[in-house]
Chain A
Amino acid sequence: MSAPFRLGAGGRIDRSRKLRFWLDRKAYEGVAGDTLASALLANGVHLVGRSFKYHRPRGIMAAGSDEPNALVSVGSGSRFTPNLRATQVELTDGLVAQSQNRWPSLGRDFGALNDVFSPLFPAGFYYKTFMWPKSAWKRIYEPKIRAMAGLGRAPTLPDSDTYTQRYAHCDALIVGAGPAGIAAALAAEAHGARVILCDEQAELGGSLLAETKATIDGKEASAWLSDALSRLSHSPNVRWLSRTTAFGCFPHNMVGLAERLTDHLPSPSEGRPRERLWQVRAKEVVLATGALERPLVFPDNDRPGIMLADAARQYLARYAVKPGTRVVVVTAHDQAYRAATELAEAGVEIAAILDIRQDASGSWAEQARGAGLHILSSTTICATSGRHRVSSVEIAPVGRDGKVGPRSRLACDLVLMCGGFTPAIHLFSQARGKLRFEERLNAFLPDGGAEGVRCAGASRGIFGLDAAIADGVAAGEAAARDAVGGGVEAAHSPVPLPKDLDGRRLDPLPHDRSPHRVKAFVDFQNDVTAKDVKLAVREGFRSIEHIKRYTTTGMATDQGKTSNMNALGIAASALDKPLPDVGLTTFRMPYTPVTFGTFAGVARGELFDPVRVTPTHDWASAHGAVFEDVGQWKRARYFPLKDEDMHRAVARECQAVRQSVGVFDASTLGKIEIVGPDAAEFMNRIYVNPWSRLEPGRCRYGVMLREDGSILDDGVVGRLAADRFHVTTTTGGAAQVLNHMEDFLQTEWSGLDCWLTSTTEQWAVIAVQGPDSRKILERLVDDIDLSAAAMPHMSVREGHVCGVPARVFRVSFTGELGFEINVPADHGRAVWQAVLDAGFSRSLTPYGTEAMHVMRAEKGYIIVGQDTDGTVTADDVGLSWAIGKTKKDFVGKRSLARPALSDPGRKQLVGLVTEDPELVLEEGAQIIAEEPTASHRSAPHKMIGHVTSSYFSATLGRGIALAMVAGGRRRMGETLYVPMPEGSIKAVVTNPVFLDPEGKRLDA
């Protein structure tokens, strides 16, 4: 089982730590330091997946996060992750991976028929074929196409891992720990900057990890690297993060990093988070993200065993893996000569180096020539063969006129290609940096425009080790200077591009076959070929954004890392436009896929959202309360006894309040204390009501409007002293009302001497309601005269309840005699118990929000937000009595003078009673004026209103509803119709106050 393609020496691996792993149930052996890809290559395995659309066999093409083909699923059960790049999966002992998009097996895949029938699936095929019959699209074509085309399967179990998040700040965030990034980090640290250095790989070093010969500052590259890392690790100002991908650059230098914490550990570590999202706010960002090698576009360039040339070199240098035994190299760039030379030195046979160019004269080419490698210039590849692994290529010379000469065949088991390098400008572009096209590189380069973001090294076209390090130093110093100031005056001016730049190709290689028949892949992950891009242009697509969407090139999970430039080159040729005029598609986050878990962080289960509970929550919970969510609050909705359903529980609770006494937790009501000599004036301006003459100790029901005249909120307000008001708001409106008030106070009326303090959470509020409520209070209060004469309806007193300082309101939202006890919140639970204990054992009944809703509806009291929406005025709901007519102004007053707001045909609040008393209308149901007859049942009727609240009233023995009906107050006694699927329901318009319209019970 030993890996036959592993060299005996070299590489950054630990041969003594053998790791066993599985791909598709076959066991292999790798060593510590391997990725899944390098371990597979060490075992001679190239075939690792099937392609997205045509199900073609695919192998490992790259060595890093740019890998388009080798997507695997890793893990099982609740720890299953699909679509991971094998090149980024660190090998662990016992790792279980599966190939994807194949059935029944990777070797024999039924879906490969798609390749045979591929003429049926040109670009945009789903817009052209499978159109008829129309109904088949949804039921047959789409589900089938979706099942056939694809990546890995989504996990089916809830993720058993946890995720965490952290915010961080720094002077300089350096993305990418290759030579330029490390140099930048050292320079920035030396100038006193707080530095975060991150890299997507397990080991920091980037291209240095595959440098076996180069020297830096007179040291071997690996020694320089370890010295540099040691220096950084000893600095208190540097945080380095490996296995951390900077996936997105957001406004104001917020950079999102995804750190993988546990996937590389041999066994899942229970309780440890799997990944951490870093949200880094950096004063300066240095992007040292390197460059991505470009494939060449030639017929059948996607067979397993066809790799990027420098990727192969990295496998050799870093993992000591020979990716093949007999190699054909095809290139348009000198870097491939380096790969060929190093592979040859390691004992790999180089069958030939085909250079599409007429002449290669760089130093790498010279070295290759010197090593006696067989170099064929002006030579192309016309075909490749080999079912699960490339076995030969057919090559042909290209004449000066571009004509392709006679073919010859070269046997091989590895083809290396290199079309040049594309600077990784993804993050720079996300940061809204400008790009310019550099002809000499055939690449887009950063061109300023992103504040506080600069690129260094290969990511801005500075290739070569020494140049990249110098550029990194300059970028690091400049970043430090801009972030922390100081004496450094380091202009980060671009190193001039080398004069002898040569090596770039965006056009497909010439060949002697029909361009309409061959598949020369551009986007490997989405199976887009050169002819697809040309087809899109022939069919009239001109914008690169449209060509991208039509062909799906660049839209796979790799976002076209290896394909975008080639696609752009082909599109530019087909459009006969210079490439910069065709433009570039938008770079979007994430750079590589990020798990949902990382974004969700701890926001799962009880940490999904704050759950706000009142001081009596535990008691209610223990007494079987059914809760409802009101915003983030949990409120007891009703308290069922034994096998009661809601209907019966609510009827019982209402009855208790109407006949004896009930107790209710109203703590969630918003509360604001308004204090100062101008408090009453402020109230006059913010509410429609007049407040100047309200005596201390008395309460008033207040209504406030938005500036447009619609109702914003309502609530009872108690005046505690001449200069102190205790305001209550609706539960959901509390924060909004405080903001509204504070806004006006600060911006419009800053001369008023009054101030606001939120007291919502200071007070626990226990409502005791019902004819017997005073008897309860009398048992608990000895310093307030609770008699009807001394404490009338709508009054407030300060005193003590069971020795606890309290504000006692005589108010009612039920229509009964009632009190609301306010005590400091920590005393709420004890006072609640005292109230229960004081209740005559026969009658005191806790009730919930549902009974509260029913009882207030019986009294026609509105709930803002339920009976009103953003269009309803005070008059619409019959509250014009509350408006202080003589007041000069209040918020919303001017809007009320608009004719539309006094139109008698506006929707107005009315009561509705159904003919059948047992019927309860549906809230939200529409109301029409004419009875629908059988003949025009489906005819459109004018909707004149809708039901806003509807309940069964046990007290009245019938269903009651509140509704907003056009011209409703003129319709008293009219019969209206509520059309429902089962037929329309007759309902009669009534006064919305169903119970005790004179309010005698309130004044008891």
Chain B
Amino acid sequence: MPDLSQARRSVLEGLGSSDGAHGALSLLPPISRLIFRGRISTIGRVAAAFGVEPAMEPCRAAVSGERAALWLGPDEWLLLAREGEAPAIIGRLADALAPLSYSLVDVSHRQVGLKVTGEDAQAILNAGCPLDLDRHAFPIGMCTRTLLQKTEIVLWRVAEAAFQLEVARSFAPYALRFLQQAERDL
């Protein structure tokens, strides 16, 4: 029996990243992703076990080291961590949260990470994203589910001129091609 535990193939393999002159697009390597859902009273224990205090303010991401917790809804956070850490995190949270009820589901492969950087990042995203991405309206650390043309994304401003996108796996090739075209059409 072959051991395929390391045999991964990204849905974006072979699609490249930036082909515009702007070099604004990049693909993010695999990471661990977990959806935590539960009542607000559980969040304190999540913070202790996960090492990031999930934001209670809507549409805000909390970051600590390589881990992040993105507020997606009043009872939903997207937890991000290094690749391969998901099982350990699931275990630690189970220990820390017992006997409270909550839901923690590994969605590491459900979506793909993209990054748009540089001074044109806003313009590239606004080719398909209807939100106001001005830094006053969409400050660093803000995250939200939104649309990129015909696909849903989670958009997160990680720096003044850098946005991280989480795209559902099967929509990722479309999203990447769309962004590549938007970059060419600047």
Q: Which residues of A contact B (CB under 8 A)?
A: 162, 164-169, 194, 271-273, 276, 279, 281, 602-603, 606-607, 609-615, 632-633, 673, 675-678, 723, 753-763, 779-780, 782, 800-804, 824-831, 834, 837
* A757 and B37 form a contact (CB under 8 A): yes
Residue of B75, B130, B169 touching A167 (CB-CB under 8 A): B130
* B185 and A164 form a contact (CB under 8 A): yes
| A602: nearest chain-B partner, CB-CB | B181
Chain A CB within 8 A of B123 CB: yes
Nearest Cβ distance between residue A165 and chain B, in whole angstroms?
6
A830-B105 contact in complex given A610-B174, A825-B110, C-beta closer than 8 Å: no
A675-B104 contact in complex given A166-B123, A166-B126, A761-B169, C-beta closer than 8 Å: yes
* A826 and B4 form a contact (CB under 8 A): no
A615-B9 contact in complex given A167-B130, A610-B171, A633-B170, C-beta closer than 8 Å: yes
Q: Which A residues touch B5, using CB under 8 A?
A: 800, 802-804, 827
- Could you list 20 examples of A-B contacts with CB < 8 Å? A164-B181, A606-B174, A610-B150, A610-B170, A610-B174, A612-B170, A677-B101, A755-B103, A759-B107, A759-B110, A760-B110, A761-B170, A762-B106, A803-B1, A825-B11, A826-B30, A826-B109, A827-B8, A830-B7, A830-B9
* A826 and B10 form a contact (CB under 8 A): yes
* Closest CB pairs A-B (n = 9): A675-B103, A755-B37, A612-B170, A830-B7, A755-B103, A169-B132, A610-B174, A164-B185, A803-B5
Q: Which B residues touch A609, using CB under 8 A?
A: 150
Once the chains are docked, how many angstroms separate the CA of A673 from the CA of B36?
Answer: 12
Once the chains are docked, how many angstroms separate the CA of A676 from the CA of B75?
Answer: 13
Chain A CB within 8 A of B64 CB: no
* A194 and B1 form a contact (CB under 8 A): no
* B109 and A762 form a contact (CB under 8 A): yes
| B6: nearest chain-A partner, CB-CB | A803
| A609: nearest chain-B partner, CB-CB | B150
* A757 and B107 form a contact (CB under 8 A): yes
* B105 and A673 form a contact (CB under 8 A): yes
Nearest Cβ distance between residue B176 and chain A, in whole angstroms?
11
* B150 and A753 form a contact (CB under 8 A): no
* B126 and A755 form a contact (CB under 8 A): no
**Beta-carbon contacts under 8 Å, B126-148 to A:** 126-132, 134, 137
Nearest Cβ distance between residue B24 and chain A, in whole angstroms?
15
* B181 and A780 form a contact (CB under 8 A): no
A762-B8 contact in complex given A802-B3, A826-B30, C-beta closer than 8 Å: no
* B127 and A164 form a contact (CB under 8 A): yes
Once the chains are docked, how many angstroms separate the CA of A600 from the CA of B7?
Answer: 40
Known A164-B185, A759-B110, A804-B7; further 12 A-B contacts with Cβ < 8 A: A164-B127, A281-B130, A610-B171, A633-B170, A677-B101, A754-B101, A756-B37, A762-B105, A803-B2, A804-B4, A827-B109, A830-B9
* A761 and B111 form a contact (CB under 8 A): yes
Chain A CB within 8 A of B182 CB: yes
Q: Which A residues touch B123, using CB under 8 A?
A: 166
Q: Which A residues touch B109, using CB under 8 A?
A: 761-763, 824-827
Q: Which B residues touch A273, using CB under 8 A?
A: 185
Q: Which B residues touch A757, using CB under 8 A?
A: 35, 37, 103, 105, 107
Once the chains are docked, how many angstroms separate the CA of A612 from the CA of B150?
Answer: 12
Nearest Cβ distance between residue B71 and chain A, in whole angstroms?
15
**Beta-carbon contacts under 8 Å, B27-59 to A:** 30, 35, 37-39
Nearest Cβ distance between residue B87 and chain A, in whole angstroms?
8
Nearest Cβ distance between residue B178 and chain A, in whole angstroms?
6
* A612 and B171 form a contact (CB under 8 A): yes
Once the chains are docked, how many angstroms separate the CA of A281 from the CA of B8?
Answer: 43
Residue of A166, A276, A606, A834 touching B4 (CB-CB under 8 A): A834
Residue of A607, A825, A837 touching B174 (CB-CB under 8 A): A607
Q: Which A residues touch B171, using CB under 8 A?
A: 610, 612
Q: Which A residues touch B89, using CB under 8 A?
A: none
* B35 and A824 form a contact (CB under 8 A): no
Nearest Cβ distance between residue A37 and chain B, in whole angstroms?
30
Q: Which A residues touch B9, using CB under 8 A?
A: 615, 826-830
* A802 and B2 form a contact (CB under 8 A): yes
Q: Which B residues touch A756, using CB under 8 A?
A: 37, 103
Once the chains are docked, how many angstroms separate the CA of A958 from the CA of B102?
Answer: 53
Q: Which A residues touch B170, using CB under 8 A?
A: 610, 612-614, 632-633, 761
Q: Which B residues touch A761, using CB under 8 A?
A: 109-111, 168-170
